[in-house]
Structure 1
Amino acid sequence: MSDNQNLLAEQRRALILDEVRRRGGVRVNELTRKLNVSDMTVRRDLDALARQGVVEKVHGGAVPVGASTHEPGFEAKSSLELSAKEDIARAAAVMAVPGSAIALSGGTTTHALARHLVDVPDLTVVTNSVRVADVFHTAQRAGAASGQRNAAATVVLTGGVRTPSDSLVGPVADQAIRSLHFDVLFLGVHGISAEAGLSTPNLAEAETNRRFVRSARRVVVVADHTKWGTVGLSSFARLEEVDTLVTDAGLPAGAREEIAERLPHLVVAGESSGIPKE
Structure 2
Amino acid sequence: MSENQNLLAEQRRALILDEVRRRGGVRVNELTRRLNVSDMTVRRDLDALARQGVIEKVHGGAVPVVEASTHEPGFEAKSTLELTAKEDIARAAAAMAVPGSAIALSGGTTTYALAQHLLDVPELTVVTNSVRVADVFHAAQRPGGPGGRPGAATVVLTGGVRTPSDSLVGPVADRAIASLHFDVLFLGVHGISVEAGLSTPNLAEAETNRRFVQSARRVVVVADHTKWGTVGLSSFASLDEVSTLVTDAGLSAGAREEIEERLPGLLVAGRGGSEEPAEG
Query: How would you bin the TM-score normalised by the shorter chain?
Result: 0.7 to 0.9
Cα separation, partners in 2 of 1:96 and 1:233, compared to 1, 3 Å: same
Matched, 1:275 2:278: yes
Other-structure match for 2:225: 225
Q: Residues 232 and 124 (structure 1 numbering): CA distance in 2 closer, same or farther, change over 3 Å?
A: same
Across the aligned residues of Structure 1 and Structure 2, the Cα RMSD in angstroms comes to 2.6
User: Normalising by structure 2, what TM-score?
Assistant: 0.77
For 1:67-216, what aligned pairs fall within 5 Å after superposition?
Answer: 68-142=69-143, 148-216=148-216
Structure 1 residues 73, 241: CA separation in 2 closer, same or farther (over 3 Å shift)?
A: same
What is the TM-score with the length of structure 1 in the denominator?
Answer: 0.78
**Contact 1:160/1:168 (<8 A) preserved:** yes
Change (3 A) 1:146 1:105: closer
Give 1:217's aligned amino acid. R
> Does the Cα contact within 8 Å between 2:139 and 2:147 map onto a contact in 1?
no
Q: Which amino acid in 1 is paired with 2:215?
A: S
State the distance in 2 between where 1:109 and 1:147 align: 22
Change beyond 3 A, Cα 1:47–1:160: same
Q: What is the identity, as a one-letter code, of the residue corresponding to 2:92? A: A
Q: Is the 1:225–1:251 Cα contact (8 Å) retained in structure 2?
A: yes
User: Offset of 1:46 from its aligned partner?
Assistant: 2.3
- % identity of equivalent residues: 78
SS at match of 1:38: helix
Q: Distance in 2 between matches of 1:178 and 1:76?
A: 30
Give per-residue Cα distances to partners, 1:131-162, cap 9 Å, x unaligned: 0000000011147x688345333100001000
- Alignment correspondent of 2:7: none
Which protein shows a greater Rg?
A: 1
Task: Give SS of 1:206's match.
Answer: helix
Residues 53-77 of structure 1, C-alpha deviations (whole Å, 9 max, x = no match): xxx953xxx35x42x1000000000
Whether 1:259 aligns to 2:269 is: no
Deviation at 1:38, TM superposition (A): 1.5
| Structure 2 Cα separation of the partners of residues 120 and 269 of structure 1 | 19
Closer/same/farther in 2, CA of residues 113 and 245 from structure 1, 3 Å limit: same
Q: Which runs of 5+ in 2 are unaligned?
A: 1-27, 29-39
What is the identity, as a one-letter code, of the residue corresponding to 2:255?
A
Paired residues in the alignment total 232
Tell me if the contact between 2:137 and 2:153 (Cα under 8 Å) persists in the aligned partners.
no
